[in-house]
Structure 1
Amino acid sequence: MTEPQSQAQRPTTGEAPFGFDEIFFSRTDERGVIQAGNQIFQRVSAHPWSKLIGAPHKVIRHPDMPKGFFHLFWERLKAERLVSGYVKNRAADGLYYWVYAVVSPMPGGGYISVRIKPSSELFDHCAQEYARILKLEQEQGLTPAESADLIVKRLNELGYTNFEHFMASSLAQELAARDVKLGRKASERARSFADVATAVREARAHTDALCETFSAIEAVPHNMRILASRLEASGGPIAAISSNYGSMSKEISDWVDKFILGKDSAFSSLRHAVSRSRMLSATARVMEEAQVQFDSEADDMLEGGDRLAEKDRLHEVSQKYRKLSDEYLNTVEREATTFGRAVGDMKRLIAGLSTTRMMCKIESARLPDHNESLMAIIDQLDRFQSELEDRLDKIGAITSAVLKAARSLEVGGVAGAPQPASAPTEAA
């Protein structure tokens, strides 16, 4: 059998022993000064309690960590918002240890932190990115704020909407990887959230392609006006078709801005709500596991606080996030319903292209000596309509699947229950 990490001989170099089954716990004041912690935290850090309690949490900070990360971290904490991420720490004896930290503001002030051992593929990639960012900090003399901007830009390049989107995805991946390490079956809730997140990514790819096609369509009215000036007198039928198509193109553009691209669009709100609910659910889960660990620890395994009191704090915060996760699922339902209806409206609008194409064909037949350019436009409209209808069908199907999954994920609620008039608000 593998020797428990709590009994493993500590090496003189390299990584400090830390088990996948172990969860760090610590509580700090609003300045980051350590108020309490569990025995796992003390053992791995190798600092005596006399050096930890009353010390700033940065006493364990490793020089390999980019300053930009902590800038992002503290920006969220000072705004009373939940934060998570990968952190490399340095123990008193010089050993290092990586954790995935989840830190939450506490009612009444201060912060509570739980940390697990990371093991996902994303972790390895992030460690490399940290090294790259740190090198840039040192070579270019970047300020923490400049480094933080660089980190967010890099996350965007990797496909994350923002730092919060990365938090939700990384925590979910670490919990899934931890389940594998511990030989546990992934929870049905976690799998459902993963499926929803995948569906939203697929919908994002289709909406991006949809926007590209819409952008290409915008040139059609202009091309038709040029053609009309060559083939007919002012105010002729081709010019009228061009005008009608221009109006339709404007409606399409407005729809894209309202339902896809806008910061407050239905699709943007849907993506945010899915990511937020997933993050809050995963946070509640890891804090609930920390509570279970408290049950197996003796009273003297915690310093600076009462074991039951600290467990109650964890329970209060985890229940808060579990409830908020469910509220965001209500938001997912509402936005998915809104977006699904909007997709249906757009499909009906796109069907109007058939009329435009038919009118173009009639005019093409009327102008046999000059119909080559007009036929090219008709062919272009055929391709556009076919592609748009295909994309909209796929987006509609994905949106329906997201809506169904969100209803099944609700805890303590009834599918189709009345939804809040606005998205949930929280200092997390």
Structure 2
Amino acid sequence: MSDEVTNHLGGFRVENGTRSMTESVLSRVHHGIFMMAAARLQREVKMVASEAFVTGIEGDDFKNEVEVLTTLLDTYSIDSGSVLVSVFSDVTALTRSAKDLRQLVTGLDSIRVLCRVEAGRLGANSVSLMPVIDQLDKFHIEIDATLERIMHLSERVKTLVEASMPRVFNGSLRYHHS
């Protein structure tokens, strides 16, 4: 069981264990937010450029500029959405790992209870086991609370990421060019 726990803890690391999931997600969220801001600026520039072209302030040669701005806007929107989709997927996997770990910890908890029962049966001969059992009690409470917090925060991050997705991404989290 401890090997399974160790394997599941690997789910909290990415890039071959060189970075924590938190570092990776935070980095990508920052990138996604930057790209969303760039897309918003690009949209405003495109609107001003399109208006200048339509009103005749700019000549026909400016049409290429508007097309370039449109391409950049689409690229930035796709990039920001893709980054946020990857964050959503990783956070979903993190939630699943936390749930799996919680089940494994519950299994380990039954061993702790059996150990306490055995210590009670042994009476005075089990005095040296009591500090270990007490540590296991504290560990179980602490790990359970931590996993609960991870699951709660993961759900919150997923909700925020989904709300931040560019409108061109639908509920299936796939890009639909408009």
TM-score bracket for this pair, using the shorter chain length: 0.7 to 0.9
Relative to structure 1, is the Cα distance of residues 277 and 387 closer, same or farther in structure 2, using a 3 angstrom cutoff? same
1:252 aligns with 2:39: no
CA displacement at 1:308 relative to structure 2: 4.5
In structure 1, distance between residues paired with 2:174 and 2:62: 38
Cross-structure match for 1:263: 15
Kindly provide the amino acid, as one letter, of the partner of residue 347 in structure 1: R
Q: What is the percentage of aligned positions where both structures have the same residue?
A: 24
Which residue of structure 2 aligns with residue 37 of structure 1?
Answer: none
Number of corresponding residues:
166
Q: C-alpha distance in 2, partners of 1:373/1:276?
A: 53
* TM-score in terms of structure 2 length: 0.75
1:281 aligns with 2:36: yes
Looking at structure 2, the residues matched to 309 and 264 of structure 1 have their Cα atoms a distance apart, in angstroms, of: 44
Q: Is the 8 A contact 2:8 2:100 kept in 1?
A: no
Does residue 368 (structure 1) correspond to residue 123 (structure 2)? The answer is: yes
Aligned-pair CA distance for 1:319 = 1.6
What's the C-alpha RMSD, in Å, of the aligned pairs? 3.0
Q: C-alpha distance in 2, partners of 1:419/1:359? A: 49
Amino acid at match of 2:15: K
Counterparts of 2:162 and 2:115, CA distance in 1: 46
Change in Cα spacing, 1:277 to 1:254, as seen in structure 2 (3 Å) is same
The separation in 2 between residues aligned to 1:346 and 1:331, in whole angstroms, is 22
Identify unmatched segments of 5+ residues in structure 1. Answer: 1-247, 300-305, 421-428
Letter in 2 for 1:262: V
CA contact (8 A) 1:343 1:392 kept: yes
Asked if the contact 2:31/2:80 (under 8 Å) is kept, the reply is: yes
> Highest Rg: 1 or 2?
1
Distance 1:286 1:264, change over 3 A: farther
Cα distance in 2 between the residues matched to 1:376 and 1:414: 54
Shift of 1:405: 2.6
Tell me, yes or no, if structure 1 residue 334 matches structure 2 residue 89.
Answer: yes
Deviation at 1:372, TM superposition (A): 3.0
The reply on whether 1:397 has 2:152 as its aligned counterpart is yes
Mapping of residues 164-183 of structure 1, within 5 Å: none
Task: Name the structure with the higher helix share.
Answer: 2
Q: Is the 8 A contact 2:120 2:126 kept in 1?
A: yes
Structure 2 letter corresponding to 1:255? H
C-alpha displacement of 1:361? 0.9
Give the TM-score of the pair, scaled to structure 1: 0.34
